[in-house]
Chain A
Amino acid sequence: MSALLDSLVELIRRTSAEIPDDVNAALVRSLEEERQGTIAASALKIIERNIELAKRKSQPICQDTGSIIFYVDVPVGYDQIAFEEVARAAVTAATRKGYLRQNSVDSITGANDGTNVGPGSPVVHFHQHRSPEVAARLVLKGGGCENVGAQYSLPLEKLHANRDLDGCRRVILDAVLQAQGKGCGPGILGVCLGGDRATGYEFSKQQFLRRLDDRNPDPRLDALEQDILKTANELGIGPMGFGGKTTLLGVKICAANRLPASFFVSVSYMCWAYRRQGVTLGADSAITGWLY
């Protein structure tokens, strides 16, 4: 299994050190839109230099290398137990190499054993498909942006949010307002309308696997995505919450069925340091291609 170990360590390295092209393009556009000489423009220039430095030095873009979340598509009959064991070994090896910070703490004792492996870390979501290919995607999501995520239960009277798309819009924009710069904006929203409390958040995070420049195939959700993006960027929160034109780089929304009694809107916030990459693996578990 050492080829798989090497492939996953390389996936972790590249995810931690390199911003995907679609995100980089959006950041470059946002810098062009900010007024020169403002502190928002200064912040974006530092961000651009940081992206270049991290890639060149093969070091983490952000010191908070985040929750380690794998999404793995596997053929029928693939040994998921073995994959998960190797993924844990790869996380420990990547931590030793400094691609990941010693970032996982025992919630009862506060101890940090320095391996990044423990209950719930890393997270591995498997999905079977009818292709012979294995595709492993990785998201590293920092704590600052995770902390500004929010789950709303509709109706919510204080925001005049009813159980309809307008109510969804109101609570999503409230999440942007409350986040201000604390989630390291300009940010990206992943949203799930409906579902239960757990799947709502889970599906909201899966939206981060979408490319920033894609469009939602559902015209109702597409319209909501475009509206939230435009409105959020009119609020003047700006990069780092310094004030400015770019508050969000993208909005991705999905819907899941709900119970008649429940209507959750789950909002996950991704920081500008949007660490997401993926690989396809051949029969020998070597990397055959990059997905972003």
Chain B
Amino acid sequence: MIPLTAPFTEETIRQLKVGDEVAITGVVFTGRDAVHKYLHEGGELPPGVNLRDGLIYHCGPVMMKEPDGSWRCTAAGPTTSIREEPYQAHIIGAFGVRGVIGKGGMGERTLAACREHGCVYLHGVGGAAQVLAECVRKVRNVYFLEKFGSPEAIWELEVENFPAVVTMDSHGGSLHREVYAASQAALSARLETPAGA
């Protein structure tokens, strides 16, 4: 496990390679479908949200409000990232994002933006909402809660040793592209076999 502490320098991010297992510590902002569309359409980040050299996490957590008005994160795994493919490259460039946390991987436009701007895609374990919620040490703030609803809001989280795997790096490497190509070839080979042969 490579420890990674946000915010990052470009140099730190450029050292990461596909297949590296990392443990992330620092501030993370969640943002998913509604936030990506909003930013892509020219919307501004609310005061207090700064993505520069930081992390955006594709996540719609379960949050419980405590009697003192604070928030407790009770489930916080990644959501499927490919839905943000139309927006992600623009957001990486425009807001200076150094790491995108999600699951399932992203496409060629995001991969190109990672290479151009010095950013990586960090794959969390989909469905592992409890293990990942335990890594959330504190819910610092929430933005756009009324506007987008709880799962789609921007949650500002402090995480510690959040486990992820680099599956798209800043040098054009993508585990998703590799696995797709290999599995497609394996399937073609099996389908060419005549039935019963």
Stretch of A4-12, A98-106, A200-208, A279-287 on the interface side: A98-106
Query: Known: A54-B129, A143-B80. Contact between A242 and B75, CB under 8 A?
Result: no
**Does residue A250 face the partner (Cβ distance < 8 Å to B)?**
no
**Does residue A59 face the partner (Cβ distance < 8 Å to B)?**
yes
Contact: A61 with B130, CB < 8 Å? Answer: yes
Instruction: Name the residue on A nearest B104 (C-beta).
Output: A182
Question: Distance in Å from the Cβ of B157 to the closest Cβ of chain A?
Answer: 13
Contact: A144 with B149, CB < 8 Å? Answer: no
A184 to B80, CA, bound (A): 9
Known: A60-B74, A60-B75, A174-B187. 4 other contacts (CB 8 A): A101-B62, A180-B176, A182-B103, A238-B179
**Does residue B152 face the partner (Cβ distance < 8 Å to A)?**
yes
Q: Give chain B's interface secondary structure class.
A: mixed
Contact: A102 with B179, CB < 8 Å? Answer: no
Complex interface residues of chain A between 191 and 246 (CB less than 8 A to chain B): 231, 234-238, 240-243
A272 to B148, CA, bound (A): 28
**Does residue B197 face the partner (Cβ distance < 8 Å to A)?**
no
Which residues of chain B are within 8 angstroms of A53 by Cβ–Cβ distance? 130-131, 134
Which residues of chain A are within 8 angstroms of B103 by Cβ–Cβ distance? 144, 181-182, 184, 240
Question: Distance in Å from the Cβ of B107 to the closest Cβ of chain A?
Answer: 11
Partner of B130, one of A57, A144, A236, A240: A57
Contact: B129 with A231, CB < 8 Å? Answer: no
| A/B pair count, beta carbons within 8 Å | 164
Q: Give chain A's interface secondary structure class.
A: loop
A235 to B179, CA, bound (A): 9
Which residues of chain A are within 8 angstroms of B130 by Cβ–Cβ distance? 50, 53-54, 57, 59-61
**Does residue B36 face the partner (Cβ distance < 8 Å to A)?**
no
Interface residues on B, range: 35 or more
Contact: B60 with A101, CB < 8 Å? Answer: yes
Which residues of chain A are within 8 angstroms of B64 by Cβ–Cβ distance? 98
**Does residue A128 face the partner (Cβ distance < 8 Å to B)?**
no
Query: Known: A63-B61, A98-B62, A144-B80. Contact between A177 and B74, CB under 8 A?
Result: no
Partner of A243, one of B127, B151, B179: B179
Partner of A102, one of B105, B150, B176: B150
Query: Known: A53-B131, A242-B179. Contact between A101 and B75, CB under 8 A?
Result: yes
Which residues of chain A are within 8 angstroms of B126 by Cβ–Cβ distance? 62, 144, 181, 184, 240, 271
Contact: B149 with A114, CB < 8 Å? Answer: yes
- Could you show 7 A-B contacts with beta carbons less than 8 Å apart? A53-B131, A57-B74, A60-B62, A63-B59, A112-B150, A173-B187, A177-B180
Which residues of chain A are within 8 angstroms of B13 by Cβ–Cβ distance? none
**Does residue B175 face the partner (Cβ distance < 8 Å to A)?**
yes
**Does residue B165 face the partner (Cβ distance < 8 Å to A)?**
yes
Contact: A144 with B21, CB < 8 Å? Answer: no
**Does residue A80 face the partner (Cβ distance < 8 Å to B)?**
no
Complex interface residues of chain A between 176 and 190 (CB less than 8 A to chain B): 177, 180-182, 184
